[in-house]
Structure 1
Amino acid sequence: MSSEGNKPSRLENTSHILYDSGSSSYTTYSNTVRIPIVGPDIELEKKTDAREAVPGKPIPYRVILRNKGNYAAKVVLYDELPKGMAFVPGSIVKDGVPLPGVDLDEGLKLGTVDPGEKVKVAFQLVLKLGSEEDCGKKVCNRMKASVSFYSSNGRKVKGNVFSNTICLPVAKADEAVPFAKLTVDPAKAAPGDRLSYKLIVGNQGHAAAMVTLLSFLPKGLLYVPNSLTINGNWMSGGVPGNAGIPLGLIEPGESVTVAWEVVVPGVTIVSPGQWIDNRAILKASCRDPSCAERVSEEFHSNKTVVELCFPVITAKLKAKPEVSFPDGYVNFTLQLANAGNRAAICGSDKLLRGPISLVPESLTVDGEGKQATVSDNRIVFGELAPSGVMRILFQGIISPLVTTRTLRGHIDVQYEYLLHDQVHKEAVSTNPYTIAIMHDDE
């Protein structure tokens, strides 16, 4: 679909036969078959007058697309953006007509390009402020045209055509080039944990900049009042307002360190395996009166991610029979399940209370007998893995002195898990049980 050098307009082919007759050799030629080449021949040429890429300064590009073939084709034009570069919104012009809202990254539809037709497209790219491209390196990009047409027999033909590649050296900016680097500790957390964020805001350019921190709190987490510091100085108060936090004037080569803390809310708000991401949003403006007309530019930090790791224990209890009598036995089935992503050690300080006492040596966990005595302060059932289920069977005996007609109760289950060498302790209660008591006088 593209031409390199002079492309022939047709294919020519002639066959010949070599044969011997006696002591003589002969050659016989066939007629010449000439097949015309039918199809588009798309050519892309990319140009720029810029000699270097300066962060924050738009770079103008021009592209000329020609169809040097003899067949029309539909063409969609793309720009292969290198890392750190972005389109300047509203800068695309096709054949002198501005195209607002069009993005070459998503593709500029040129429609049908007829044989001999030429399309001119102009646009601007910009090397982002605070990008990771270092001075002295080169930033390169090229255009791509997605071409499609239907052959004479109705077959759809598709292909890609690429332009020449333009490389520009990255130069030092004569203006501020702010950047922001965000870190968080720890990378895994549980409900109630504190997350410590640190944001380093610096200036890689050659002019000072006034910087304001616009947004820095992760969604859904609780800000710790009075935890915000700027270069070690405490900023008292609650959540900062919508106006942002002024970080002051940052000179070239200097930086400001901002730190704060948030708390992970309870299990009713967050979920195990949930990812908490955060990205700081800032804006920078020029201090020099000569650039007063320049609009403040917004820039972002990198994104940080924290994984929430904790167990979610549920407890269900069954008591049989539902009708008993003084000095009677009751069979209990306690089922624990872990819907979280962290293992937990489960147990209970006291399985039964009131007029029902635990029958010694009746307790089994998943079929394995665990001895328990009345004097035990705590019964440990064992470790419950994520997505695991544990069944605890035990018996209770009703006091012969019971006088009530109904016994009601539940079981409190305690569990603990380890994260970052810190033991987290939680508790959950079962559903209530009810046992009717039949007395001899009834």
Structure 2
Amino acid sequence: MTPDGPRDFTVQNQTHVRFQNGTYEGVAYSNTVSTPLVGPLLKAAKSVSTPRASINQVVTFSIALSNSGNRSAQVTVIDPLPAGLSFIANSVLIGGVPLTGISPSAGIPVGIVNVGATILITFQAIVVSMPPGLRFANQARVEYVFTALDGRSVSGTLHSNTASFGVNPFRLSASASSSTTVTFAGDVIPYELAITNEGSEPLENVVITIPLPEGFEFVPGSVVINGVLMPGIDPNMGIPIGTLLPGQSVRVSVHLRVTGAPASEQVVIQGRIAYTIGGAAASLLANPLVFTVVKPQVSIQLQVDRTQASVNDTLQYVAVVRNDSSFAVDVRLFDLVPPGTSFVTDSLTLGGQQQSVTRIEGGLPLGTLLANSQLVVACRVKILSSAVAPGLPPILEGVRASFTFRLADGRVVSMTAASNAVKTGLFAPLIAVTAAAQPQYVEPGESVGIGAIVRNNGNLSADVTLYRTAYPPEYYIRDVRIAGRIVPGFPLTEGLYLGTIPPGGSIRVAYIGDIGEDYDVALPDIVGLFTARYKYRFDEQMNSGESRSNEYVIVVDQTNE
């Protein structure tokens, strides 16, 4: 017999007649009439994947549809779900093949079910609420059409068995949230978790744990439960809630600090709620929160054109400011002019374009630096005499950038970046003059010894001429000596040429000052000092400088005998 042909389903009928003639009784039989039965013989066996489920649990329904008749049938299965069950879209499978866009309540077009065939239909649903009596019961309806032998189209309906399963009498819901899902190293963000006992049984020993990814830590003392600050709770050890009665809700919040950039740009934080019910341990995972950790990457590479220089020399600094972030930043550059130098007017260039500016000491706005771009900043500075300090420290330079960027949540963040340090060795004589007068108190007719020591504490030789202050009338100098050698005098205007003083060298100048007998003691005290003017050569350039001594005081008084 072919799959579409008739089977030996027949109804046989035969009549008989009982009769009696006097004492004789008899039976007469008619001929047998056979009537063939034509049509499908369908059966729908429905089952469910679990005898008991919980809220938010997924269950799978299966319907095994078989045809043991003698005609094929066009079949549609209609299976509306009871309240509390929600169909999972695109979960219908027929013979293991997915059927998208179909729902059981609207009807599942099974197609032709051939004679002798069995087709398995499955679909899934999720438990969203508790049913009356804590039990779901469900029955499918099968509608079919077949063609009789005489060509007529015959339709019919049958029902599956009833499939049922129980629902656990408790439900814990959890909803995690945060005011932002974008953050950065150094940021502090809130994590909130609201839990509700939607079941009919109390949940005991409720504890919330929040595993944190690399680069995150809890802010100590930041746990808040239902608006009450709980500084004594350490969230690393879990946040104890206790018993959650039916219908009761608890809202927990804690602050998280981003201590560093994690390996991945996106991290997931998912809280877990552990509890017991009826002595049995259970747990629930909250919805995961995905945080994007923004990693600003602004760098500055600094270069200087000279490693050695002297006073009045110019240095050129070149700073390459690079934004390797995936977003734009607004940048302002600081400290382009190191201490002991001054900016050379109109020497600034941005991206090779000269800028007409006279000062940049207060910070230089660079504007918006796009993602994965750079800007070359160059300027020149002049070394001032104030850079020459004891020990001749080098001119150290390191620039910094202040940059801002906007997060997806609207917050504007300001950060800083520092360049590498560059230095230029400073070469110059460092002339120091120390003056002294002995004795300090004298009378007319007496003499004072005046001395000056001129030292070169620098690293270059210098030709030095020493100058003195003018003295009042009746004050005479004699016996002028340079390093013990007598010289003709100490002219006021021309000064006293000391010659070349090498680095680390010194020369002593001394002379006698005589106070004349007719010195007017009413004059002010004699205040003197020395000025050393010097010249030196560096890189074929002649420079000059000046250094003053301390003041010395001579008090001329008349002692009354």
TM-score, structure 2 normalization: 0.48
Stretches of structure 2 lacking an aligned partner (at least 5 in a row): 6-43, 67-86, 90-122, 139-159, 428-459, 461-536, 540-561
1:240-251 alignment, distance < 5 Å: 240=235, 242=237, 244-251=238-245
Letter matched to residue 340 of structure 1: S
Counterpart in 2 of 1:274? 265
1:317 equivalenced with 2:302 (yes/no)? yes
Q: Any conservation in 1 of the 2:172–2:198 contact (CA below 8 Å)?
A: yes
1:387 equivalenced with 2:387 (yes/no)? no
Aligned match of 1:431 in 398, 420, 435?
420
The 1:393/1:58 distance shift into structure 2, 3 A limit, reads closer
Aligned match of 1:355 in 340, 343, 360?
340
Counterpart in 2 of 1:104? none
Letter matched to residue 226 of structure 1: G
Q: Any conservation in 1 of the 2:209–2:236 contact (CA below 8 Å)?
A: no
The 1:415/1:139 distance shift into structure 2, 3 A limit, reads farther
Counterpart in 1 of 2:182? 188
Q: Any conservation in 2 of the 1:135–1:170 contact (CA below 8 Å)?
A: no
1:298 equivalenced with 2:283 (yes/no)? yes
Query: What is the CA–CA distance in structure 2 between the aligned matches of 1:325 and 1:167, rounded to whole Å?
Result: 100
Query: What is the CA–CA distance in structure 2 between the aligned matches of 1:435 and 1:411, rounded to whole Å?
Result: 15
Aligned match of 2:402 in 414, 418, 425?
414
The 1:305/1:241 distance shift into structure 2, 3 A limit, reads closer
Q: Deviations over 1:18-54 (max 9, x none)?
A: xxxxxxxxxxxxxxxxxxxxxxxxxxx9753789864
Report the CA distance between 1:281 and its aligned residue: 0.7
Q: Secondary structure at the match of 1:353?
A: coil
Q: Any conservation in 2 of the 1:408–1:434 contact (CA below 8 Å)?
A: yes
Counterpart in 2 of 1:76? none
Q: Secondary structure at the match of 2:235?
A: coil
Query: What is the CA–CA distance in structure 1 between the aligned matches of 2:328 and 2:186, rounded to whole Å?
Result: 17
Q: Any conservation in 2 of the 1:222–1:264 contact (CA below 8 Å)?
A: yes
Counterpart in 2 of 1:373? 358
Q: Any conservation in 2 of the 1:196–1:262 contact (CA below 8 Å)?
A: yes
Counterpart in 1 of 2:246? 252
Q: Any conservation in 1 of the 2:47–2:163 contact (CA below 8 Å)?
A: no
Higher mean Cα deviation, 377-386 or 204-213?
204-213
Report the CA distance between 1:178 and its aligned residue: 1.0
Letter matched to residue 48 of structure 1: S
Aligned match of 2:223 in 222, 228, 234?
228
Report the CA distance between 1:300 and its aligned residue: 0.6
Q: How many residues align?
A: 324
Query: What is the CA–CA distance in structure 2 between the aligned matches of 1:441 and 1:196, rounded to whole Å?
Result: 62
Letter matched to residue 329 of structure 1: T
Higher mean Cα deviation, 195-204 or 402-411?
402-411
Higher mean Cα deviation, 175-184 or 213-222?
213-222
Report the CA distance between 1:351 and its aligned residue: 1.1
Larger Rg: 2
Stretches of structure 1 lacking an aligned partner (at least 5 in a row): 10-44, 67-81, 85-124, 141-164
Counterpart in 2 of 1:13? none
Q: Any conservation in 2 of the 1:317–1:433 contact (CA below 8 Å)?
A: yes
The 1:370/1:422 distance shift into structure 2, 3 A limit, reads farther
Report the CA distance between 1:59 and its aligned residue: 7.6
Report the CA distance between 1:401 and its aligned residue: 6.1
Q: Deviations over 1:120-144 (max 9, x none)?
A: xxxxx9988xx6477599999xxxx
The 1:224/1:255 distance shift into structure 2, 3 A limit, reads same
The 1:385/1:238 distance shift into structure 2, 3 A limit, reads farther
Query: What is the CA–CA distance in structure 2 between the aligned matches of 1:60 and 1:384, rounded to whole Å?
Result: 55
Q: Any conservation in 2 of the 1:335–1:392 contact (CA below 8 Å)?
A: yes
Q: Any conservation in 2 of the 1:183–1:199 contact (CA below 8 Å)?
A: yes
Counterpart in 1 of 2:47? 48
Counterpart in 2 of 1:261? 255
Query: What is the CA–CA distance in structure 1 between the aligned matches of 2:377 and 2:284, rounded to whole Å?
Result: 56
Q: Deviations over 1:157-191 (max 9, x none)?
A: xxxxxxxx9996787x3511112111111122222
Q: Deviations over 1:242-264 (max 9, x none)?
A: 4x333233233332111111122
Q: Any conservation in 2 of the 1:314–1:338 contact (CA below 8 Å)?
A: yes
Query: What is the CA–CA distance in structure 2 between the aligned matches of 1:437 and 1:135, rounded to whole Å?
Result: 88
Letter matched to residue 396 of structure 1: V
Aligned match of 2:202 in 208, 213, 217?
208
Query: What is the CA–CA distance in structure 2 between the aligned matches of 1:248 and 1:347, rounded to whole Å?
Result: 53
The 1:186/1:61 distance shift into structure 2, 3 A limit, reads closer
Q: Secondary structure at the match of 1:181?
A: strand
Report the CA distance between 1:211 and its aligned residue: 5.2
The 1:401/1:55 distance shift into structure 2, 3 A limit, reads closer
Identity of matched residues, %:
15
The 1:428/1:7 distance shift into structure 2, 3 A limit, reads same
Letter matched to residue 248 of structure 1: G
Q: Deviations over 1:205-226 (max 9, x none)?
A: 2322225234224323121222
